[in-house]
Amino acid sequence: MRKRRRESVDPTTAPKREVRVEKKTSKQEYKVDLTLAKAQKAQATANKRKYLVILIGMILAAAAFFKFKLGG
């Protein structure tokens, strides 16, 4: 029966287990970074929309004021 190799074939390279752990960690970090980037983008978009709604409301209020002469 053949024994499993515990080290990689080339002694100058990292063992396979370390390579797998490094790849897994890298993938997890990428997913976390992607999630944080999406959250920041959503926050920025919501902030822009908030000010856009306020601006449109002010314009409509001014239009209603001059159209119906609500001021007096």
Task: Print pLDDT tens along the chain (72 aa).
Answer: 666 666 555 666 778 888 888 899 999 999 999 999 999 999 999 999 999 999 999 999 999 888 887 655
Q: What is the pLDDT of residue 65?
A: 85
Secondary-structure percent of the chain, ordered helix, strand, coil, rounded to 5: 75, 0, 25
pLDDT for the residue numbered 19: 85
Asked whether 20 and 28 are in contact (CB, 8 A), the reply is: no
- Contact assessment for residue 30 and residue 36, using Cβ atoms and an 8 Å cutoff: no
DSSP state of 6: S
Please enumerate in sequence order all residues whose Cβ is within 8 A of that of 8, keeping only pairs 6 or more positions apart, or say none.
14, 15, 16
